[in-house]
């Protein structure tokens, strides 16, 4: 498949545009990101994959403005989000358009209670008190953490910490939320709950997500696109099923889910399924239909 193979687009117009972006850190001889161009549309869930050191984290920093505002280096090309040129827009303004959830939620929750933590970003933006109260309450209801309002962050489970950190991001009402390996520290059950929450926020609120995740099998069922990076470059971009069915993906260090591996093995044996299954249940249905 080509890099422009059929893509299951989200419902809206272009929200974020990355145009021939390259970035090299001061102490590095080689660029961390090399001539990357990518468009993200409103309402999409874009899954970003690739081996460690391939440039994923640097690309995320370029999208939310940490690069070039906080990290110096050689910056070429550009990123636009919601019509704002990231390199020319203050971080305080960008924070209202692009939210970032770190891999470890403890890096984001540090106030004395959950509700105060959710309100922290709003206070920094001088949001009026009544609106702040409304946003905090609404966000806690949405994420099912109203009962945790007065709890201290250190008293929460890992899953609750993830929800509390995400609530702080959502309260800012960004158009785009970036998630950096949101399930890496979670047990399988809690990880599935977080994925279900992402799907709910995307479906009900139309929030656009860019998600970096090594456990692809968790996010593939809700992702519109799968973008693969290698050595700083975008090397594949398409519908998740098509990318995973392409033999090159594993060569780029992408962890292929068992269902996709089984599909490839069946294809090599001459057994052609109508489509690439995303889940074990879909695989069982396809095999039953043969």
Specify the pLDDT at position 283: 74
The answer, yes or no, to whether residue 241 has pLDDT greater than 70, is yes
Structure confidence by residue, pLDDT tens digits, 95-150: 889 999 887 888 788 889 999 999 998 998 889 999 999 999 999 998 899 999 99
| Closest C-alpha among 242, 278, 245, 231 to residue 259 | 278
For a pLDDT cut of 70, what percent of the chain falls above it? 94
Specify the pLDDT at position 75: 97
The token pair at 280 is 């074990």
Structure confidence by residue, pLDDT tens digits, 176-229: 999 998 888 888 888 888 899 999 999 988 999 999 988 888 898 899 999 999
**Which residue has 């899953």 as its token pair?**
159
Specify the pLDDT at position 131: 95
The token pair at 110 is 């540090």
Specify the pLDDT at position 247: 74
Structure confidence by residue, pLDDT tens digits, 28-58: 999 999 999 999 999 999 999 999 899 999 9
β strands within the chain, DSSP E:
14-24, 33-41, 45-49, 74-81, 84-85, 98-101, 176-180, 208-212, 225-230, 233-238
Q: Is 6 helix (H, G, I), strand (E, B) or coil?
A: coil
| Closest C-alpha among 147, 9, 15 to residue 86 | 15
Specify the pLDDT at position 19: 97
Specify the pLDDT at position 229: 96
Specify the pLDDT at position 7: 43
Instruction: Name the packing angle between helices 158-170 and 129-143 (round to 10°).
Output: 140
């Amino acid at each position: 498949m080509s890099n422009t193979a059929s893509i299951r687009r989200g419902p809206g117009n272009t929200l974020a545009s990355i145009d021939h972006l390259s970035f090299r850190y001061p102490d590095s001889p080689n660029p961390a990101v090399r001539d990357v161009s990518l468009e993200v549309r409103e309402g999409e869930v874009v899954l970003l994959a690739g081996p460690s050191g391939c440039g994923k984290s640097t690309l995320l920093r370029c999208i939310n403005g940490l690069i070039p505002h906080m990290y110096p280096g050689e910056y070429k090309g550009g990123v636009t989000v919601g019509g704002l040129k990231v390199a020319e827009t203050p971080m305080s303004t960008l924070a209202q358009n692009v939210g970032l959830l770190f891999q470890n939620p403890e890096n984001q929750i540090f106030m004395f209670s959950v509700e105060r933590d959710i309100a922290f970003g709003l206070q920094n933006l001088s949001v009026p008190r009544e609106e702040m109260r409304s946003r905090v309450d609404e966000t806690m209801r949405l994420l099912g953490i109203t009962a945790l309002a007065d709890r201290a962050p250190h008293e929460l489970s890992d899953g609750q910490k993830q929800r509390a950190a995400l609530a702080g991001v959502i309260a800012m009402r960004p158009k785009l939320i970036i998630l950096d390996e949101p399930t890496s520290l979670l047990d399988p059950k809690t990880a599935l709950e977080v994925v279900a929450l992402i799907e709910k926020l995307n479906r009900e609120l139309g929030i656009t997500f860019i998600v970096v995740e090594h456990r692809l099998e968790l996010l593939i069922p809700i992702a519109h696109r799968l973008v693969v990076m290698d050595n700083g470059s975008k090397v594949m971009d398409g519908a998740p099923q098509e990318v995973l069915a392409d033999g090159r993906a594993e060569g780029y260090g992408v962890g292929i889910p068992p269902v996709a591996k089984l599909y490839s093995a069946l294809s090599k044996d001459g057994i052609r399924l109508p489509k690439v299954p995303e889940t074990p249940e879909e695989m069982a249905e396809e095999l039953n239909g043969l």
